[in-house]
């Protein structure tokens, strides 16, 4: 197979066109069975298409040929566990972590972007049985804590206890604090998330993903300048990563630095590793800078790329509301709410219909109290954040509503 044909297949894969990439990747592997990079691409494409048995064959072949390839083992772990082979999958994961904990902590216990509740439910049940037979296996407790979090079937205190038990049994699981920090962040416990990430970063100070998450939580718990230091270090560590640059742009958007947000998100859109949501955040920055036509074009493109991006629907709805297109604005804002409960959508709808104000107040009582219940003033005070609990400026700090 000509190299250029393989390169086209890789380009299709990187664009998320996995089904279109599949024939080219398969041809490359058939023609060059020792091209392990191509095998990894093919394995991931098969995984994305839910062809799990075939994907497992690819990752197992790479892991057998390159037993020190931590990513091959991590991917093999994911596939096995999605197939219900929980114990074998965790054993592969343990090998991957032993080889390179700094690379796999963020993805090792996940399954990808699609809805995975059935997988986590089955894994939770399997892990409880595994722990009965292997009560000293620390990794199993950490995995169970994550499964309980994903299935929303245990309290935060119980989940924290599972992670702590795992760490007590196995001190090498320090990276699991980063996962527990993500759970705390989801529960809006940003101070605890910062504490956990600081413990992990003492072990692995160049974990760019952990720096990004700590930076996002620091934006809530302390001065914005402190958060930016984490983002700046993460960008230096991985300048090719569109996601890291985009997250820095998002926090700049939250803080009202719209020009900085635009610069970061523009860079993220064209990065070697582009980030899916960067285009929507770029459109938001353009809107906040008053560049309405450019913003709408960018938000249209963001929603064409990812129709499930609820925040982009909110931003485009806000744009149309500002532009006097009430009917179209309401349609976009309700589309956002059909995907995710977002305070920004409720506030924008409340400008048209006061009945929406009660739902907005339930999501952001502090923010609404500060503006006397005026939705337009609440939108302005929340700067560039249209998420569930937006940040708003109070002196030199960003606070959560």
In a domain, 277, yes or no: no
- Taking the CA of residue 342 as centre, how many other CA atoms within 13 Å lie in the half-sphere pointing to its CB? 27
What's the pLDDT score for residue 107? 53
Candidates 100, 105, 42, 26; CA nearest to 69 is 100
What's the pLDDT score for residue 275? 85
pLDDT band at 297 (very low <50, low <70, confident <90, very high): very high
What pLDDT digit, counting tens, does each position of 317-367 carry?
999 999 999 999 999 999 999 998 999 999 999 999 999 999 999 999 989
- pLDDT at residue 234 is higher than 50: yes
Cβ atoms of residues 147 and 162 within 8 Å: no
In a domain, 356, yes or no: yes
The whole-angstrom separation of Cα 270 and Cα 313 is 22
Q: What SS3 class is residue 83?
A: coil
Cβ atoms of residues 183 and 156 within 8 Å: yes
What DSSP assignment string belongs to 247-276?
HHHHHHHHHT-HHHHHHHHHHHHTSSB--T
Sort strands 391-394 and 397-400 into parallel, antiparallel or unpaired. antiparallel
Please count the structural domains in the chain: 1
pLDDT band at 120 (very low <50, low <70, confident <90, very high): confident
- Which residues on adjacent β-strands are paired with residue 392? 399
In a domain, 355, yes or no: yes
Cβ atoms of residues 41 and 53 within 8 Å: no
User: Given the structure tokens 């529960």, which residue do they identify?
Assistant: 187
The whole-angstrom separation of Cα 179 and Cα 177 is 5
Structure tokens at 142: 């950490």
What percent of the chain shows pLDDT beyond 90?
67
Candidates 120, 114, 92, 96; CA nearest to 18 is 114
This prediction's pTM: 0.78
Candidates 273, 286, 275, 221; CA nearest to 248 is 275
What DSSP assignment string belongs to 125-138?
HHHHHHHHH-TT-H
What DSSP assignment string belongs to 43-59?
HHHHHHTT-HHHHHHHH
What pLDDT digit, counting tens, does each position of 55-90 carry?
999 999 999 999 999 989 999 998 999 899 999 999
pLDDT band at 110 (very low <50, low <70, confident <90, very high): low
Average pLDDT, whole number, for the chain?
90
In a domain, 156, yes or no: no
What's the pLDDT score for residue 150? 85
In a domain, 346, yes or no: yes
In a domain, 326, yes or no: yes
User: What value does the mean pLDDT take over residues 14-20?
Assistant: 87
Rounded to whole angstroms, what are the CA distances from 348 to 62, 103, 243, 308? 51, 41, 28, 19
Which 8-state DSSP code applies to residue 171? G
CA dihedral 132, 138, 144, 146 (to 10 degrees): 180
Residue 321 structural domain: 307-401
In a domain, 165, yes or no: no
Given CA atoms 264, 270, 274, 275 in this order, what sign does their dihedral have?
A: positive
In a domain, 367, yes or no: yes
Backbone φ and ψ of 398, nearest 5°: -100, 135
Candidates 339, 328, 347; CA nearest to 386 is 347
User: What value does the mean pLDDT take over residues 133-159?
Assistant: 93
What's the pLDDT score for residue 2? 47
pLDDT band at 373 (very low <50, low <70, confident <90, very high): very high
Distance of CA 124 to the CA centre of its chain: 22
């Amino acid at each position: 197979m000509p190299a250029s044909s393989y390169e086209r297949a890789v380009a299709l894969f990187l664009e998320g066109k996995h089904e279109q990439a599949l024939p080219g990747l398969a041809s490359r592997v058939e023609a060059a069975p020792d091209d392990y990079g191509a095998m990894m691409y093919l394995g991931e494409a098969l995984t994305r298409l839910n062809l799990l048995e075939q994907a497992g064959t690819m990752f197992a072949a790479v892991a057998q040929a390159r037993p020190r390839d931590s990513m091959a083992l991590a991917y093999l772990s994911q596939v096995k566990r999605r197939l219900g082979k929980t114990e074998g999958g965790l054993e592969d994961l343990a090998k991957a972590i032993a080889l390179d904990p700094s690379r796999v902590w963020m993805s090792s216990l996940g399954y990808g972007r699609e809805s995975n509740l059935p997988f986590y439910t089955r894994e939770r049940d399997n892990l409880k049985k595994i722990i009965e037979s292997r009560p000293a296996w620390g990794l199993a407790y950490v995995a169970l804590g994550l499964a309980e979090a994903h299935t929303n079937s245990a309290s935060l205190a119980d989940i924290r206890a599972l992670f702590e038990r795992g760490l007590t049994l196995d001190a090498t699981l320090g990276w699991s604090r980063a996962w527990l920090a993500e759970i705390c962040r989801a529960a809006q416990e940003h101070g605890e998330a910062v504490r956990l990430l600081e413990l992990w970063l003492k072990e692995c100070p160049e974990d760019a993903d952990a720096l990004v998450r700590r930076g996002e939580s620091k934006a809530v718990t302390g001065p914005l300048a402190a958060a930016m230091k984490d983002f700046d270090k993460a960008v230096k560590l991985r300048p090719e990563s569109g996601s890291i640059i985009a997250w820095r742009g998002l926090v700049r958007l939250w803080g009202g630095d719209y020009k900085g947000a635009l610069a970061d998100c523009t860079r993220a859109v064209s990065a070697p590793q582009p980030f899916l949501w960067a285009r929507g955040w770029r459109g938001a920055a353009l809107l906040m800078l008053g560049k309405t036509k450019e913003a709408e074009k960018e938000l249209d493109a963001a929603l064409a790329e990812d129709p499930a991006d609820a925040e982009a629907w909110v931003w485009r709805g806000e744009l149309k509301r500002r532009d006097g297109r009430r009917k179209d604005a309401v349609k976009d804002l309700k589309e956002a709410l059909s995907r995710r409960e977002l305070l920004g959508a409720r506030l924008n709808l409340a400008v048209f219909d006061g009945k929406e104000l009660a739902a907005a107040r339930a999501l952001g009582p502090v923010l609404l109290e500060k503006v006397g219940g005026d939705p337009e003033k609440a939108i302005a005070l929340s700067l560039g954040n249209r998420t569930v609990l937006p940040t708003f400026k109070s002196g030199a700090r960003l606070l959560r509503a």
